[in-house]
Amino acid sequence: MTDVRVRFAPSPTGALHIGGAHTALFNWLWAKKHGGRFVLRIEDTDRERSTQAYEDTIYAGLRWLGLDWDEGPDCGGPYGPYRQSERLELYMECAEDLVSRGLAYRDGAAIIFKIPQGETISFEDAVYGAISVKSETLKDQVLMKSDGTPTYNYAVVIDDHHMAINWVIRGEDHIANTPKQILFYKAFGWELPRFAHLPMILGKDKKKLSKRHGATSVHEYKDMGYLPEAVFNFLALLGWSPGGDKEIFTREEATRLFEISRVVKRAAIFDMDKLNYVNQEHIKMMDPKSLVDAVLPFWKKLGLPVEQFDRSYLEQAVSLLEGRGRTLVEIAEFTDYFFDFNSVAKRYDGKESADKAESLRPFFRALLAIEPWEAPQMENFARQWCDEKGMKLKDVAMPLRLVLTGRKVSPGIFEVAQLLGRDEVKKRLSHYNLI
C-alpha cells in the first residue's frame, strides 16, 4: 500500500465532541497501522464562529486522547499551511482556473461550478461499498462565495490534493458530499483518494447523540474522571471490533489490530454503561502509583487534605479498593474516609450503632488492644468473639464499617482499620461513644 496520508479537519467553532474524536481516532489508527502520516488541518473559514479558545480545546482534547498529529499546527512538514484562512489565494487561483477552462462561471462576486450532465459518478467506499450517483441529481455548486471565502466541498478537495491526502476517512453524513467532490477532482485532473465513511453514533434510544445521552465534549469526560486510554478504547469500539470477544485493549493493540474492512455500516450505539465498564477495566490495569497520580486532582477537588499523607499511604488506600470504582471521581469519593473524618460524620449520624452500643463496646475495647495491629489478627479475633457470643461476623463488622467509613459498602473493614491506624480508629469509635 502507498504510504497512508490521512487528515482530521475540525472547525474551531466548538469544542472537540465525541463524533469528531471518533473520526480523528479512526484516521489516527489507520495512519499508525501503516506507518503513515496523520495530518491536522484547521478549517476556520467561518470567521464569525471560529475562535482561538475552541481551537485550543481541540488541540487539548486530541492530546489528552493521545492522538498526536504528524503535520499541522505546531508541527513541521512539507505540506501546508494548515489553516484554510491562510489559503484563500490558492482557492481563488484554482477557481479562476476552472472559469478559464469553461468549467465554472461567475455570478456576481461568486464563482460557481457547472455540474456536467449525463454522467454517472461512482466510487468504491471502503465501508459502504460501491456507490453511484447520476450527475443530473446535483445542482451547480458554489466554489467561492461573494465574500471571498470557499465553500466546504470545494475547499476540502483543494486542501486534500495539495496535502497529498490519499485516504479520506470521515462520518457517513459526508457520503452525499463525495460525488460533488469527485467532480472537482476530475475537473482538475487530480487522482482520487480512497474514501471510507464511518457509521453514525447514536444514543441507546437510537436517536442522534446529544447531551441527554451523556457529555458530548471530550474534555467533559476528562473532568468526569474517565481515563484517556479508556475513552480511546471505547471510541474504537464504536463501529469496529478487533474480532472475537476482545473488548479491552491498549493503543498499541488497537493499532496492530485495526482494519478499515472491519468497520461496520450500522450505526454505533453510545452506551454510558459500556464506557463505565471499559473505564473500570483500565483502572484495574493501573499500578497504585499511576492511579494515585490520576486520582489526586479529584481528591483535591473534594477538598480532602491528601497532602498531609505520604505517597505510600495514598497508594495503599487506592490498592484496598481492588478494582471498585468506575471512574476516578468515584474512586476519590469512595476513599474520602481515609483522609477526613468529617466526611464520615456527615454521612453517618451514629443512630444505628447507638442502638447496639452496650453490646458492641466490649468488642471494640478488646479490638483496640489487638497486637500487632494487622488485619488478619483483627479478623481472627472478631470471628472468635462472635463464635463465643453466638453472633455473626457481620454483627460487629457492619457497625465498624459505618463508624470508620460512613458507608455500608467498603473494602475489607479490617484492612481499612489497619491502614487508618489504631489511634484514628479509636478516635472514630470514641466520637460515636462506642468505647
Instruction: Give me the sheet containing 129-134, strands edge to edge.
Output: 129-134, 120-125, 194-198, 167-171
383: amino acid identity, one letter: R
Strand order across the 104-107 sheet: 104-107, 110-113, 141-144
* Amino acid, res. 163: M
Return the half-sphere exposure (C-beta side, CA atoms, 13 A cut-off) of residue 201: 24
Cα-based distances in Å from 358 to 306, 317, 362, 433: 35, 31, 8, 10
Nearest alpha carbon to residue 251 among 226, 280, 223, 282: 282
Q: Which of 59, 45, 46, 53 is nearest to 8 (CA)?
A: 59
Question: Contact at 8 Å (CB) between 155 and 165?
Answer: no
Tally Cβ neighbours within 10 Å of residue 5.
21
For residue 174, the tally of other CB atoms under 10 A from its CB is 17
Distance in angstroms (rounded) separating the CA atoms of residues 238 and 339:
39
H helix and E strand count, the chain: 19, 11
Residue 211 among the catalytic residues = yes
For 257, half-sphere exposure in the C-beta direction (CA atoms, 13 angstrom radius) is: 18
User: What's the CA gap between 390 and 153, in Å, rounded?
Assistant: 80
| Active-site residue (options: 139, 206, 211, 351) | 211
DSSP string for 13-24: SS--BHHHHHHH
Is 30 in contact with 36 (CB distance < 8 Å)?
yes
Q: Which residues contact residue 137 at a Cβ distance below 8 angstroms, ignoring those fewer than 6 apart? A: none
- All three cell numbers of 156: 476540502
What is the three-state SS of 78-134? CCCCCEHHHCHHHHHHHHHHHHHCCCEEEECCEEEECCCCCCEEEEEECCCEEEEEE
Cα(343)–Cα(404) distance, rounded to whole angstroms? 10
Task: Return the active site residues.
Answer: 211
